[in-house]
């Protein structure tokens, strides 16, 4: 059994090119800083708004997990994996806003476990995807150029950028909560 596990790990390692390793390393770094902002917090603290905005740490991680999940699905299935944002109703946008909140029954442990599963799935996709150049038309959205396409590589760069941006937001939220910082 141990040899089979070792062989599988070795096979996966040989399929990870330098580019894919770089993408995974960058994503892992930013995921770490995002998760690190929640160290030693209670569920109540993770759900507390600490700035003038609506964001809280637990909700921010829920949002990043949801976005990463959606974009990974996009890589595999194209624009049908995402909503037509131009046709969304107020109710749809209200439901989407729940991604940014800790709702009754949400726990920080569950939010982090979901994010960990999303990360595992994305990492597996990066290592097994046959072609990073495979592209799909972007879903309909007011912020997307009509007819634009993104390759899997471009989507992964977007996930990295989104994670890094929100890790910065999370650092501000955490510092506003109790003075703790991720860096510095």
pLDDT score at 109: 98
Q: pLDDT tens, 110-127?
A: 999 999 999 999 999 999
| Cα–Cα distance measured from residue 131 to residue 112, given in angstroms and rounded to the nearest whole number | 30
Mean pLDDT of 103-114: 97
Q: pLDDT tens, 144-159?
A: 998 999 999 999 999 9
pLDDT score at 182: 87
Reported pTM: 0.88
CB of 112 closer than 8 Å to CB of 35: yes
């Amino acid at each position: 059994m141990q040899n089979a596990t070792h062989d599988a790990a070795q096979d996966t390692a040989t399929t990870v090119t330098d580019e894919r390793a770089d993408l995974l390393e960058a994503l892992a770094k930013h995921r770490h800083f995002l998760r690190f902002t929640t160290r030693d917090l209670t569920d109540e603290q993770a759900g507390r708004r600490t700035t003038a905005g609506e964001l809280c740490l637990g909700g921010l991680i829920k949002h990043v997990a949801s976005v990463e999940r959606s974009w990974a699905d996009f890589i595999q299935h194209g624009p049908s994996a995402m909503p037509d944002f131009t046709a969304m109703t107020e109710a749809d946008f209200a439901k989407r806003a729940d991604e940014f909140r800790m709702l009754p029954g949400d726990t920080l442990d569950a939010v982090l476990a979901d994010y960990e599963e999303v990360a595992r799935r994305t990492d597996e996709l990066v290592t097994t995807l046959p072609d990073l150049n495979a592209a799909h038309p972007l879903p309909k959205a007011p912020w997307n150029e009509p007819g634009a396409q993104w390759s899997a590589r471009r989507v992964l760069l977007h996930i990295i950028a989104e994670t890094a941006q929100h890790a910065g937001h999370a650092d501000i939220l955490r510092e506003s909560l109790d003075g703790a910082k991720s860096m510095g």
